[in-house]
Amino acid sequence: IPSRYGTGEKSVWVEYIQLAADYKPKVNLGQGFPDFPPPQHVTQALGDVAAGENHLLHQYTRGFGHPRLVQNLSKLYSPLIGREIDPFNEILVGSGAYEALFSSILGHVDKGDEVIVIEPFFDCYEPMITSAGGVAKFIALQPKKTSGNITSADWVLDEKELTSLFGPKTKMLILNTPNNPLGKVFTRSELEMIANLCKKHNVLVVADEVYEWMVYEPHKHIRIASLPDMWERTITIGSAGKTFSVTGWKIGWAYGPAALMRNLQVVHQNSVYTCPTPIQEAVARAIEVELARFNKPDCYMFSISKELAPKRDAFVKTLRENGFNPTVPDGGYFVIADWTELAKKIDLSSEKDKYCDYRFTKKFAKEVGVLAIPPSAFYSEPHKHLGENYARFCFIKKDENLGLADKLIREWN
Ligand code: PMP
Ligand code: GLN
């Protein structure tokens, strides 16, 4: 393996998806994907494309994004950002948000460039930065309290520490709001603090906003690209998989000013080149349906949070009543919970992993039948201890499966 990929260790996803296949946990709250059907009009759109007369929709389409999709993404985001987004020069469609992130990082980070990453972070950022020859500089969100009722808003950045990370080599900052795995939704004043530092030091922002539509009252998702003078230095990432509960479709996008997007196009044209036409056409049609009812209660971009909020509340209750201390998420569809009160009830000695959240989640899956993800995977090596006391549970699941998880955890307890 080339050294730019480190030692080539398995990612947490490769390992835990295998674990799920081997141990068949009764309830899989690990990898983030819904276990209920996507909206009917979305799957219908794909069926219509497949059965339709336009056979050209089964052939290659425009490399940087299928025209109907980029046009609809422009219609969706232009009003939200407060400027006309050029569909053909300011939007790139990629193989999931994953490839949009890869093209953003590989397209802008050069040897020796520094990238500021806020922990806990979606794990692929670090290897992407390293494989570009860059150096990741980490800063952890820290909980203001660790007992009592905690929400994701209690996890905050230290402004002084963040300021100290900016220097002449800083090229980029990666911001994930709502954050995976914490569910933190950055407030306007937090975003302004980050934006001011990025402007002062001429730093790009990659804003990973794949959970933009999963935000719980009274919190609001704010796009950092919409803040004053931020458009020209921000690349924003979105995902059809998250937006429409179709994670297997693996279509995502990046949007930003043409001069920045040019770099992403170069990476994309030399790796993936073009994404599946039928899926892009179906996503385009699905966005059209939602644009026609945007801001109305039945628009999926708004109804999904209403559907998820009671699931979050029910599962938080399960956790609280069974010895966990959860951080209630303001956005996204994960909840992290401190499990250390339960340490006395579970013998982790049979598990050999270096970090105790790996040992806990593996033993918990085998003993209780509920699979969770170890959050230390979302920290850099020197900071992994900050995640070790937690387990991450995904709650975009049918009520019956959340109910079964509740039953299994209660019976074990
Ligand atoms: N960013 C974050 C924060 C995520 O949680 C995910 C989930 N997979 C992605 C990016 C990648 O999204 P996609 O499935 O569209 O590649
Ligand atoms: N975003 C999802 C999660 O965090 C899936 C991650 C993945 O499959 N790489 O669980």
Evaluate whether 116 touches 139 at the Cβ level (below 8 Å).
yes
Pocket-forming residues, ligand 2, beta carbon under 6 Å: 13, 31-32, 180
The CATH code of the domain that includes 234 is 3.40.640.10
Is residue 179 pLDDT above 90, yes or no? yes
- The whole model's pTM is what? 0.98
Residue bearing the CA closest to ligand 2, atom 2 = 32
Say yes or no: 99 and 160 in one domain. yes
- Choose one of 17, 31, 237 to mutate for the ligand 2 pocket test, by most ligand atoms within 8 angstroms of C-beta: 31
The CATH code of the domain that includes 341 is 3.90.1150.10
Is residue 377 pLDDT above 90, yes or no? yes
Residue bearing the CA closest to ligand 2, atom 9 = 13
Say yes or no: 23 and 45 in one domain. no
Q: What is the mean pLDDT of the chain?
A: 97
Evaluate whether 184 touches 190 at the Cβ level (below 8 Å).
no
Pocket-forming residues, ligand 1, beta carbon under 6 Å: 32, 96-98, 122, 176, 180, 208, 210, 239, 241, 247, 250, 252
Say yes or no: 275 and 401 in one domain. no
Say yes or no: 332 and 381 in one domain. yes
Domain-terminating residue out of 274, 292, 310: 292
Say yes or no: 61 and 168 in one domain. yes
- Identify which of 340, 317, 337, 310 has the alpha carbon closest to the alpha carbon of residue 326: 337
Say yes or no: 138 and 232 in one domain. yes
Is residue 279 pLDDT above 90, yes or no? yes
Is residue 33 pLDDT above 90, yes or no? yes
For residue 409, the model assigns a pLDDT of 98
Residue 7 pLDDT class (50, 70, 90 cuts): confident
> What range does the domain containing 408 cover?
3-38+299-412
Say yes or no: 285 and 406 in one domain. no
Is residue 384 pLDDT above 90, yes or no? yes
Residue 386 pLDDT class (50, 70, 90 cuts): very high
Q: Which ligand has the shortest distance to the CA of 211? A: 1
Domain-terminating residue out of 292, 312, 340: 292
Per-residue model confidence as pLDDT tens digits over 42-74: 999 999 999 999 999 999 999 999 999 999 999
Domain-terminating residue out of 234, 261, 292: 292
For the CA atoms of the chain, what is the radius of gyration? Answer: 21
Say yes or no: 317 and 254 in one domain. no
Residue 389, C-beta contacts closer than 8 angstroms, at least 6 positions apart? 338, 339, 340, 357
Cα separation of 236 and 224, whole Å?
8
Say yes or no: 45 and 31 in one domain. no
For residue 146, the model assigns a pLDDT of 86
Say yes or no: 149 and 98 in one domain. yes
Is residue 6 pLDDT above 90, yes or no? no
Say yes or no: 172 and 281 in one domain. yes
Helix (H) or strand (E) holding 157: none
Per-residue model confidence as pLDDT tens digits over 213-222: 999 999 999 9
Q: How many domains does the structure of the chain reveal?
A: 2
Q: ipTM above 0.90? A: yes
